[in-house]
Amino acid sequence: GAVVSQHPSWVICKSGTSVKIECRSLDFQATTMFWYRQFPKQSLMLMATSNEGSKATYEQGVEKDKFLINHASLTLSTLTVTSAHPEDSSFYICSARGAPQRTDTQYFGPGTRLTVL
């Protein structure tokens, strides 16, 4: 149980294009979802938190207009990197926390590796 999936697992895009990453909780309802970013040899950095049906809360320094987050249902959240540039190349990881029996544990997806050319 407590499986979180991401799609795609990797993506390569041209500079200036937008990329959408999907995050799904497969066997539980995720009332809260989180998006993290990880650069090589660094730890994961939290980008934003979203509750189902509400606007996402972004961490300081994360551009909300560049990283669009939608949490439209209890099993799906999407992250859209708009007008991607090479510096946005990173490993993007989502996490979900559910209800009712798993309210205290975040489960993580396998990650999406984005390369912007």
Partner 1 sequence: DAKTTQPTSMDCAEGRAANLPCNHSTISGNEYVYWYRQIHSQGPQYIIHGLKNNETNEMASLIITEDRKSSTLILPHATLRDTAVYYCIAKTSYDKVIFGPGTSLSVIP
Give the footprint of partner 1 on this chain (CB under 8 A): 2, 4, 6, 34, 36, 43-46, 49, 91, 93, 95, 103-111, 113
Select 5 or 82, whichever has its Cβ closest to partner 1. 5
CB-CB contact of 59 with 36 (8 Å): no
Q: How far is the CB of 41 from partner 1 (least distance, A)?
A: 10
The distance in angstroms from the start CA to the end CA of the chain is 37
Q: CA-to-CA distance for 3 and 9, rounded, in angstroms? A: 15
CB-CB contact of 52 with 28 (8 Å): no
Q: How far is the CB of 58 from partner 1 (least distance, A)?
A: 12
Select 65 or 104, whichever has its Cβ closest to partner 1. 104
Q: CA-to-CA distance for 95 and 105, rounded, in angstroms? A: 10
Q: How far is the CB of 34 from partner 1 (least distance, A)?
A: 6
